[in-house]
Amino acid sequence: MRFAILSDIHGNLEALQSVLKELDRIGYDALIVLGDVVGYGADPSECIEIVKRRGAIVVKGNHDEAVVNVEERRFMNIYAKEAIEWTASRLNEAQKIWLKNLPYRISPDDDFEITHAEWENPENWTYIFDEYEAKYQFKFLEKETGFYGHTHIPAIFQRDREGNVTKLDQNELYLLRGHKYMINPGSVGQPRDRDWRASFGIFDTDEKYFELHRIEYDVKTAMKKIIDAGLPEALAYRLEIGY
């Protein structure tokens, strides 16, 4: 089965549309979204409705949580908080209920599980950037493979049979039997690895194969929408530099 793995859409409709167009071209069986459908971008309502129409399997991100839980906004920087307050004012009650009811961590398949940020306490939103953080979180990963987002940076961490954790510098791999993996497909709507193109992954459970994809999108339109909406201009300009 081929799973399309998306994360951190952040209300960027142009990026989401380009990713889905590419996915329709290459083919997939099921769509997974690793949280943060909203936040930062100017089209939160449209992105929610597209994800729902596609029948995606979705876990909750910290921005999704902050829409419906004001206490979560205390931990956000000024730009993120302003964007979330704007987002909350644009969503209808049904969309807010949908965000509220999203799970923190689930297993869509026998081979893997998904969360937004971390495995130990998913609602704490801890970032996994390096081998040290990954090694700790591997203790709480029950399946052979876990997919996560939150950092907006693609990453693959591998734990071998001896417990050694390595960050792999590659965009595709066949998963080795007896090893465990934590994989981040990067961000659809706000990449932060100095590559502005939308990022997503395909995971083939039959072949035990993961591949990272990048796709260009109409970034100028996405930027203009953010500025026209009165959102912080920094949220627009960071899109074109991928950071």
Instruction: Measure Cα distances from 198 to 30, 44, 163, 187, 216 in Å.
Output: 19, 17, 33, 6, 6
Give mean pLDDT, residues 121-150: 97
Per-residue pLDDT tens for 72-99? 999 899 999 999 999 999 999 999 999 9
pLDDT band with cut points at 50, 70 and 90 for residue 105: very high
Nearest to 132 by CA among 63, 182, 207, 189: 182
Per-residue pLDDT tens for 12-24? 999 999 999 999 9
| Model pLDDT, residue 201 | 98
Number of domains in the chain: 1
Its domain, for residue 59, covers 2-241
Per-residue pLDDT tens for 141-200? 999 999 999 999 999 999 999 999 999 999 999 999 999 999 999 999 999 999 999 999
Across 153-240, the runs of DSSP E, i.e. the strands, are 155-159, 165-167, 172-174, 180-184, 198-204, 209-215
Give mean pLDDT, residues 26-47: 98
Give mean pLDDT, residues 32-57: 98
Instruction: Measure Cα distances from 191 to 118, 153, 233 in Å.
Output: 19, 7, 16
Instruction: Measure Cα distances from 113 to 6, 118, 119, 161 in Å.
Output: 14, 11, 10, 20
Residues 36 and 116: beta-carbon distance below 8 Å: yes
For the chain, what's the residue count? Answer: 243
pLDDT band with cut points at 50, 70 and 90 for residue 31: very high
Domain harbouring 136, CATH code: 3.60.21.10
What is the rounded distance in angstroms from the CA atom of residue 232 to the CA atom of residue 130? 30
